[in-house]
Chains A and B, each alone.
Chain A
């Protein structure tokens, strides 16, 4: 039974190391992506990176985006539009980028982002917009 216990320890260490690496990668990508820009618009909007190989996009992310109502969603195929995907450091699908009206990336979500989280991020982007307008 000791082989089983050691195996649990080894597998646990690998899982922890992978989770740590993923967190580091995600933070680094987010830090770089938040500096990126896209086209300005009248209101904050979302750039949604997806692809044919992404199942969570279809089962979770798209229903969440549909709940946002009248928000503009720019759907981008990350495989076809590689340059744009690289600009936002897209390394996993789905990736959602909340853009301020002036075209700045305000929040970047690697992996599934639920509707309430996106709503909060859009509210942030709107507040930023008001701050700029009243400054």
Chain B
């Protein structure tokens, strides 16, 4: 069972952080630091779920106060964790490019936000589809 509200809060957090870094850095460049920070948050959350910042925000604050209602769905967490990790890797690569090639770094970060938005709005999870392809070829196991 997976609480899809936690996933939605996570996606919203990713979109908001990238947008603040993307738009804000045009006015105040140090805001670019949000992109490597987000990469760390996503990668940490993938390997140590209790350190997943946005999910913890949901479980510790938003859910207990009734701000966001839970939506448990019979589902497997592995594809979602994989997708989150993939987002983290893309943001880590984006972070490497931010200083020498800011256009590439910002474009990669923006793509992560676009994919998070597609997942949030339409339920299409690209990372989950990649997980399915790898699983079909026996390259990953649940």
Residues of A with Cβ closer than 8 Å to B? 1, 3-4, 6-8, 10-11, 14-15, 51-56, 58-60, 78-79, 82, 85, 91-93, 111-112
Q: Is the CB of B111 within 8 A of A53?
A: no
Residue pair A53, B131 in contact (C-beta under 8 Å): yes
Q: Is the CB of A54 within 8 A of B132?
A: yes
Please tell me if B49 contacts chain A, counting CB pairs below 8 Å: no
Select from chain A the residue with minimum beta-carbon distance to B22: A4
Q: Is the interface of B mostly helix, strand, loop or mixed?
A: helix
8 Å CB interface, B96-123 against A: 102-107, 109-111, 114, 123
Stretch of B38-46, B50-58, B61-69, B75-83 on the interface side: B75-83
26 contacts between A and B (CB under 8 A): A3-B106, A4-B22, A4-B26, A7-B22, A7-B106, A7-B109, A10-B103, A10-B104, A10-B107, A11-B110, A11-B114, A53-B78, A53-B128, A53-B135, A53-B142, A54-B128, A55-B2, A55-B73, A55-B128, A56-B123, A56-B125, A58-B74, A59-B123, A78-B132, A92-B129, A93-B129
Smallest Cβ distance from B5 to chain A, in angstroms? 12
**Nearest Cβ in chain A — how far from B126, in angstroms?**
9
- CB nearest to B118 among chain A residues: A15
- The number of residues on chain B lying at the interface, defined by a beta carbon within 8 Å of a beta carbon of chain A, is 34
How far apart are the CA atoms of A7 and B79 in the complex, in Å? Answer: 29
Chain A positions within 8 Å of B104 at CB level:
10
In the bound complex, residues from chain B placing their C-beta under 8 Å from that of A92 are: 129, 132
Which single member of B2, B25, B75, B132 contacts A93 (CB below 8 Å)? Answer: B132
Question: How far does the Cβ of B44 sit from chain A's closest Cβ, in whole Å?
Answer: 23
User: B107 touching A11 by the CB < 8 A rule?
Assistant: yes
Output the least CB separation between A50 and chain B (Å).
Answer: 10
Decide if A79 touches B107 in the complex (CB within 8 Å).
Answer: no
Point out the residues of chain A lying under 8 angstroms from B76, CB to CB. Answer: 52-53
Say whether B103 contacts A6, CB under 8 Å.
Answer: yes
B75 touches A79 (CB 8 A): no
Known: A10-B107, A51-B135, A55-B79. 14 other contacts (CB 8 A): A3-B103, A4-B23, A4-B106, A7-B105, A7-B107, A7-B109, A8-B107, A11-B107, A14-B111, A55-B2, A55-B75, A55-B128, A58-B75, A59-B4
